[in-house]
Structure 1
Amino acid sequence: MCAELMAGKAHIPRLTMIPTASKLSTYSMVVKDGKRSRITKEDLCDHDWEFRFTVNLPMLLQAAPEYWRNLDPSWKHTGPPMRRYFHPDGYHSADPRDAVWGGHECTYTIITSFVGNGQIRDHYVRINRWPPMKVSRKEDWSWELSNHLYRYNSIPDTETKGCTGPLFPVW
Protein backbone atom coordinates (compact mmCIF):
# COMPACT_ATOMS: atom_id res chain seq x y z
CA MET A 1 0.00 0.00 0.00
CA CYS A 2 2.88 2.37 0.78
CA ALA A 3 4.41 1.80 -2.65
CA GLU A 4 1.04 2.49 -4.33
CA LEU A 5 0.54 5.64 -2.26
CA MET A 6 3.96 7.03 -3.14
CA ALA A 7 3.91 6.08 -6.85
CA GLY A 8 4.12 9.19 -9.00
CA LYS A 9 4.89 11.52 -6.11
CA ALA A 10 7.48 14.25 -6.57
CA HIS A 11 8.88 14.06 -3.05
CA ILE A 12 8.88 11.13 -0.63
CA PRO A 13 9.19 12.10 3.06
CA ARG A 14 12.32 10.99 4.88
CA LEU A 15 10.17 9.43 7.56
CA THR A 16 9.77 6.43 5.25
CA MET A 17 13.40 5.64 6.07
CA ILE A 18 12.76 5.11 9.82
CA PRO A 19 13.60 1.40 10.18
CA THR A 20 11.72 0.86 13.46
CA ALA A 21 8.39 2.23 12.24
CA SER A 22 5.66 -0.22 11.40
CA LYS A 23 4.27 -0.22 7.88
CA LEU A 24 0.91 1.01 9.16
CA SER A 25 2.43 3.93 11.08
CA THR A 26 4.66 4.81 8.12
CA TYR A 27 1.63 4.79 5.81
CA SER A 28 -0.33 7.04 8.21
CA MET A 29 2.57 9.47 8.63
CA VAL A 30 3.15 9.68 4.87
CA VAL A 31 -0.54 10.40 4.20
CA LYS A 32 -0.48 13.13 6.84
CA ASP A 33 2.75 14.61 5.48
CA GLY A 34 1.34 14.62 1.93
CA LYS A 35 -1.57 16.77 3.14
CA ARG A 36 0.65 19.23 4.99
CA SER A 37 0.48 22.72 3.50
CA ARG A 38 2.86 24.50 5.87
CA ILE A 39 6.35 24.54 4.37
CA THR A 40 9.42 24.24 6.58
CA LYS A 41 13.01 25.36 6.19
CA GLU A 42 13.91 21.69 5.60
CA ASP A 43 11.44 21.51 2.72
CA LEU A 44 12.99 24.58 1.13
CA CYS A 45 16.55 23.34 1.59
CA ASP A 46 15.89 19.71 0.59
CA HIS A 47 14.85 20.61 -2.94
CA ASP A 48 16.20 22.38 -5.98
CA TRP A 49 13.69 24.90 -7.30
CA GLU A 50 12.69 25.81 -10.83
CA PHE A 51 12.27 29.58 -11.18
CA ARG A 52 9.94 31.10 -13.80
CA PHE A 53 8.58 34.57 -14.39
CA THR A 54 4.82 34.93 -14.71
CA VAL A 55 3.03 35.77 -17.89
CA ASN A 56 0.67 38.73 -18.10
CA LEU A 57 -2.82 37.39 -17.38
CA PRO A 58 -5.97 39.53 -17.60
CA MET A 59 -6.82 38.94 -13.94
CA LEU A 60 -3.40 40.16 -12.78
CA LEU A 61 -2.62 43.82 -12.49
CA GLN A 62 1.09 43.18 -12.96
CA ALA A 63 3.34 40.52 -14.38
CA ALA A 64 7.07 40.23 -14.67
CA PRO A 65 8.39 42.88 -17.05
CA GLU A 66 9.30 41.70 -20.54
CA TYR A 67 12.94 42.66 -19.92
CA TRP A 68 13.21 40.07 -17.12
CA ARG A 69 11.31 37.41 -19.05
CA ASN A 70 13.72 37.86 -21.95
CA LEU A 71 16.62 36.95 -19.65
CA ASP A 72 14.93 33.64 -18.83
CA PRO A 73 16.17 30.94 -21.26
CA SER A 74 12.97 28.91 -20.86
CA TRP A 75 10.88 31.87 -22.09
CA LYS A 76 13.12 32.20 -25.15
CA HIS A 77 13.19 28.40 -25.63
CA THR A 78 16.98 28.46 -25.58
CA GLY A 79 17.46 26.41 -22.42
CA PRO A 80 15.88 24.92 -19.32
CA PRO A 81 14.19 27.00 -16.60
CA MET A 82 16.47 28.77 -14.15
CA ARG A 83 17.17 27.14 -10.79
CA ARG A 84 17.20 28.57 -7.29
CA TYR A 85 18.52 27.10 -4.03
CA PHE A 86 17.59 27.70 -0.40
CA HIS A 87 20.33 27.14 2.19
CA PRO A 88 19.97 26.29 5.92
CA ASP A 89 21.71 29.54 6.96
CA GLY A 90 18.94 31.62 5.32
CA TYR A 91 20.93 32.35 2.16
CA HIS A 92 19.26 32.03 -1.23
CA SER A 93 21.27 31.48 -4.42
CA ALA A 94 21.15 30.68 -8.14
CA ASP A 95 23.33 28.98 -10.71
CA PRO A 96 26.59 30.87 -11.45
CA ARG A 97 25.68 31.81 -15.05
CA ASP A 98 22.15 32.97 -14.25
CA ALA A 99 21.66 36.28 -16.15
CA VAL A 100 18.78 37.37 -13.90
CA TRP A 101 20.56 36.74 -10.62
CA GLY A 102 23.39 39.22 -10.87
CA GLY A 103 25.25 37.95 -7.79
CA HIS A 104 23.37 40.10 -5.27
CA GLU A 105 22.97 39.34 -1.56
CA CYS A 106 19.82 37.36 -0.98
CA THR A 107 18.12 35.91 2.10
CA TYR A 108 14.76 34.28 2.72
CA THR A 109 12.27 34.04 5.58
CA ILE A 110 9.27 31.81 6.21
CA ILE A 111 6.43 33.81 7.77
CA THR A 112 3.56 32.10 9.58
CA SER A 113 1.03 33.98 11.70
CA PHE A 114 -1.72 32.41 13.73
CA VAL A 115 -5.22 33.62 14.60
CA GLY A 116 -5.92 31.29 17.51
CA ASN A 117 -6.56 27.63 18.21
CA GLY A 118 -3.65 26.83 15.89
CA GLN A 119 -5.44 28.35 12.86
CA ILE A 120 -2.99 29.84 10.35
CA ARG A 121 -3.85 33.35 9.18
CA ASP A 122 -0.88 33.91 6.86
CA HIS A 123 1.82 31.59 5.60
CA TYR A 124 4.29 32.71 2.98
CA VAL A 125 7.95 32.81 1.99
CA ARG A 126 9.68 36.12 1.42
CA ILE A 127 13.01 36.71 -0.29
CA ASN A 128 14.71 39.96 0.69
CA ARG A 129 11.99 42.65 0.67
CA TRP A 130 10.45 41.35 -2.56
CA PRO A 131 6.74 40.51 -2.79
CA PRO A 132 5.73 37.56 -0.56
CA MET A 133 5.20 34.18 -2.20
CA LYS A 134 2.11 32.16 -1.38
CA VAL A 135 2.85 28.54 -0.45
CA SER A 136 0.84 25.73 -2.02
CA ARG A 137 1.14 21.97 -2.25
CA LYS A 138 0.29 19.98 -5.35
CA GLU A 139 -1.28 16.53 -5.63
CA ASP A 140 2.10 14.97 -6.38
CA TRP A 141 3.39 16.38 -3.03
CA SER A 142 5.59 18.97 -4.72
CA TRP A 143 5.63 22.58 -3.55
CA GLU A 144 4.91 25.85 -5.32
CA LEU A 145 5.83 29.34 -4.13
CA SER A 146 4.22 32.09 -6.19
CA ASN A 147 3.29 35.73 -6.49
CA HIS A 148 2.27 38.02 -9.36
CA LEU A 149 5.85 38.30 -10.71
CA TYR A 150 7.38 34.83 -10.46
CA ARG A 151 6.96 31.30 -9.18
CA TYR A 152 9.17 28.60 -7.76
CA ASN A 153 8.34 24.91 -8.21
CA SER A 154 10.17 22.21 -6.29
CA ILE A 155 11.88 19.86 -8.70
CA PRO A 156 10.75 16.20 -8.40
CA ASP A 157 13.43 14.06 -6.84
CA THR A 158 11.86 10.75 -5.82
CA GLU A 159 14.68 8.93 -7.58
CA THR A 160 17.22 10.53 -5.23
CA LYS A 161 18.67 8.15 -2.66
CA GLY A 162 17.30 8.90 0.79
CA CYS A 163 14.15 10.63 -0.48
CA THR A 164 13.27 14.13 0.69
CA GLY A 165 11.12 15.90 3.16
CA PRO A 166 11.30 16.75 6.86
CA LEU A 167 12.16 13.99 9.28
CA PHE A 168 9.74 15.35 11.87
CA PRO A 169 7.04 17.20 9.90
CA VAL A 170 5.20 20.28 11.14
CA TRP A 171 1.50 19.51 10.82
Structure 2
Amino acid sequence: MKLMLPEVLKVSRKSIIIHNDAKAPFELFNSFEYQVEAMKFDMSTFSKEHFNLPCSIRARNGKYQVFSGWNTLHKSTPISSEELLVLNFPKKLIKDIEEEAWRYLVDSFTNTYQRNLVLAYLSLVMENIPRGVKEKILPQCKSNSAESLVQFLCREKRGPVRLQNERLKAKEIILPFKL
Protein backbone atom coordinates (compact mmCIF):
# COMPACT_ATOMS: atom_id res chain seq x y z
CA MET A 1 0.00 0.00 0.00
CA LYS A 2 1.31 3.44 -0.95
CA LEU A 3 2.05 5.74 1.99
CA MET A 4 0.25 9.07 1.57
CA LEU A 5 2.06 12.09 2.96
CA PRO A 6 1.56 15.83 2.56
CA GLU A 7 3.99 17.58 0.24
CA VAL A 8 5.50 21.06 0.39
CA LEU A 9 4.72 23.00 -2.78
CA LYS A 10 5.56 26.50 -3.97
CA VAL A 11 2.35 27.92 -5.45
CA SER A 12 1.05 31.22 -6.75
CA ARG A 13 -0.75 33.35 -4.15
CA LYS A 14 -3.57 33.70 -6.66
CA SER A 15 -4.13 29.94 -6.54
CA ILE A 16 -4.78 29.98 -2.77
CA ILE A 17 -8.32 30.20 -1.40
CA ILE A 18 -9.84 29.43 1.98
CA HIS A 19 -11.73 26.12 2.09
CA ASN A 20 -15.48 26.63 2.54
CA ASP A 21 -15.51 24.60 5.78
CA ALA A 22 -12.69 26.78 7.18
CA LYS A 23 -14.16 30.21 6.37
CA ALA A 24 -15.75 30.95 9.77
CA PRO A 25 -12.58 30.31 11.83
CA PHE A 26 -10.41 32.04 9.21
CA GLU A 27 -12.61 35.16 9.18
CA LEU A 28 -12.48 35.30 12.98
CA PHE A 29 -8.69 34.86 12.87
CA ASN A 30 -8.31 37.48 10.14
CA SER A 31 -10.26 40.01 12.21
CA PHE A 32 -7.68 39.85 15.02
CA GLU A 33 -5.63 42.98 15.55
CA TYR A 34 -2.21 42.09 16.86
CA GLN A 35 -0.21 44.09 19.37
CA VAL A 36 2.84 43.92 17.08
CA GLU A 37 2.30 44.53 13.40
CA ALA A 38 4.16 42.30 10.98
CA MET A 39 4.05 45.14 8.45
CA LYS A 40 6.63 47.03 10.53
CA PHE A 41 9.31 44.36 10.00
CA ASP A 42 11.60 43.98 7.02
CA MET A 43 10.57 40.51 5.90
CA SER A 44 12.98 40.31 2.96
CA THR A 45 15.47 38.08 4.78
CA PHE A 46 13.20 36.25 7.19
CA SER A 47 9.77 34.80 6.63
CA LYS A 48 7.55 33.17 9.20
CA GLU A 49 6.03 31.07 6.42
CA HIS A 50 8.90 28.64 6.88
CA PHE A 51 7.68 27.87 10.37
CA ASN A 52 3.92 27.86 9.86
CA LEU A 53 2.94 26.69 6.40
CA PRO A 54 -0.65 27.01 5.21
CA CYS A 55 -2.19 23.53 5.09
CA SER A 56 -4.27 22.85 2.00
CA ILE A 57 -5.97 20.34 -0.21
CA ARG A 58 -6.02 20.81 -3.96
CA ALA A 59 -9.41 21.35 -5.56
CA ARG A 60 -10.42 20.13 -9.00
CA ASN A 61 -10.11 23.68 -10.34
CA GLY A 62 -6.39 23.71 -9.42
CA LYS A 63 -6.82 26.06 -6.43
CA TYR A 64 -5.25 25.22 -3.08
CA GLN A 65 -7.95 25.29 -0.41
CA VAL A 66 -6.32 26.34 2.85
CA PHE A 67 -7.84 25.02 6.08
CA SER A 68 -5.18 25.88 8.69
CA GLY A 69 -1.72 27.42 9.05
CA TRP A 70 -3.00 30.70 7.70
CA ASN A 71 -0.69 33.10 9.60
CA THR A 72 0.93 34.12 6.32
CA LEU A 73 -2.51 34.95 4.91
CA HIS A 74 -3.46 37.35 7.73
CA LYS A 75 -4.34 40.84 6.48
CA SER A 76 -1.42 42.39 8.41
CA THR A 77 1.24 40.12 6.89
CA PRO A 78 3.24 41.83 4.16
CA ILE A 79 3.13 40.19 0.77
CA SER A 80 6.80 39.67 -0.01
CA SER A 81 6.40 37.53 -3.12
CA GLU A 82 3.87 36.22 -5.59
CA GLU A 83 4.58 32.64 -4.48
CA LEU A 84 3.99 30.94 -1.17
CA LEU A 85 4.92 27.60 0.30
CA VAL A 86 1.96 25.39 1.26
CA LEU A 87 1.74 21.98 2.87
CA ASN A 88 -0.63 20.17 0.51
CA PHE A 89 -2.42 17.10 1.88
CA PRO A 90 -4.02 14.26 -0.05
CA LYS A 91 -7.79 14.58 0.48
CA LYS A 92 -7.97 11.13 2.06
CA LEU A 93 -5.72 12.22 4.95
CA ILE A 94 -8.03 14.99 6.17
CA LYS A 95 -11.25 13.65 7.60
CA ASP A 96 -12.91 16.85 8.85
CA ILE A 97 -11.78 20.21 7.43
CA GLU A 98 -14.03 22.26 9.72
CA GLU A 99 -12.68 20.50 12.81
CA GLU A 100 -9.06 21.03 11.71
CA ALA A 101 -9.73 24.73 11.07
CA TRP A 102 -11.26 25.33 14.51
CA ARG A 103 -8.45 23.32 16.16
CA TYR A 104 -5.90 25.56 14.47
CA LEU A 105 -7.69 28.72 15.58
CA VAL A 106 -7.95 27.56 19.21
CA ASP A 107 -4.30 26.47 19.22
CA SER A 108 -3.07 29.77 17.79
CA PHE A 109 -5.30 31.65 20.18
CA THR A 110 -4.02 29.93 23.31
CA ASN A 111 -0.41 30.68 22.37
CA THR A 112 -0.85 34.32 21.40
CA TYR A 113 -2.48 36.50 24.02
CA GLN A 114 -1.64 37.76 27.50
CA ARG A 115 -3.03 35.76 30.40
CA ASN A 116 -5.06 38.70 31.70
CA LEU A 117 -6.97 38.85 28.38
CA VAL A 118 -6.98 35.35 26.94
CA LEU A 119 -9.83 34.03 29.09
CA ALA A 120 -12.36 36.53 27.70
CA TYR A 121 -11.05 36.23 24.13
CA LEU A 122 -11.10 32.44 24.23
CA SER A 123 -14.64 32.49 25.64
CA LEU A 124 -15.76 34.42 22.57
CA VAL A 125 -14.04 31.97 20.25
CA MET A 126 -15.67 29.03 22.09
CA GLU A 127 -19.09 30.65 21.68
CA ASN A 128 -18.59 30.66 17.89
CA ILE A 129 -17.40 27.08 17.42
CA PRO A 130 -20.22 24.78 16.26
CA ARG A 131 -21.34 22.39 19.02
CA GLY A 132 -20.42 19.22 17.10
CA VAL A 133 -16.90 20.52 16.48
CA LYS A 134 -16.47 21.43 20.16
CA GLU A 135 -17.36 17.86 21.10
CA LYS A 136 -14.77 16.50 18.65
CA ILE A 137 -11.84 18.73 19.60
CA LEU A 138 -12.54 18.63 23.34
CA PRO A 139 -14.12 15.21 23.98
CA GLN A 140 -12.82 15.04 27.54
CA CYS A 141 -14.77 18.18 28.56
CA LYS A 142 -18.34 17.24 29.50
CA SER A 143 -19.81 20.75 29.27
CA ASN A 144 -20.40 22.74 26.09
CA SER A 145 -20.61 26.14 27.77
CA ALA A 146 -17.93 28.57 26.63
CA GLU A 147 -16.90 29.40 30.21
CA SER A 148 -16.53 25.73 31.17
CA LEU A 149 -14.46 25.00 28.08
CA VAL A 150 -12.15 27.94 28.84
CA GLN A 151 -11.78 26.80 32.45
CA PHE A 152 -10.87 23.34 31.19
CA LEU A 153 -8.42 24.52 28.51
CA CYS A 154 -6.65 27.07 30.70
CA ARG A 155 -6.82 25.14 33.99
CA GLU A 156 -8.53 28.13 35.49
CA LYS A 157 -11.21 28.52 38.15
CA ARG A 158 -14.65 29.91 37.36
CA GLY A 159 -14.02 33.28 39.07
CA PRO A 160 -11.26 34.64 36.78
CA VAL A 161 -13.10 33.51 33.63
CA ARG A 162 -16.32 35.18 34.75
CA LEU A 163 -14.48 38.31 35.85
CA GLN A 164 -12.84 38.74 32.44
CA ASN A 165 -16.15 38.07 30.68
CA GLU A 166 -17.86 40.70 32.85
CA ARG A 167 -15.06 43.19 32.13
CA LEU A 168 -15.45 42.45 28.43
CA LYS A 169 -19.22 43.04 28.56
CA ALA A 170 -18.64 46.28 30.49
CA LYS A 171 -16.17 47.31 27.74
CA GLU A 172 -13.26 47.46 30.20
CA ILE A 173 -11.49 44.99 27.90
CA ILE A 174 -11.21 46.01 24.25
CA LEU A 175 -11.37 43.20 21.72
CA PRO A 176 -8.41 42.93 19.32
CA PHE A 177 -10.82 41.52 16.73
CA LYS A 178 -14.38 42.02 15.52
CA LEU A 179 -17.18 39.48 15.76
TM-score, normalised to structure 2, is 0.23
Larger helix percent: 2
Larger strand percent: 1
TM-score, normalised to structure 1, is 0.23
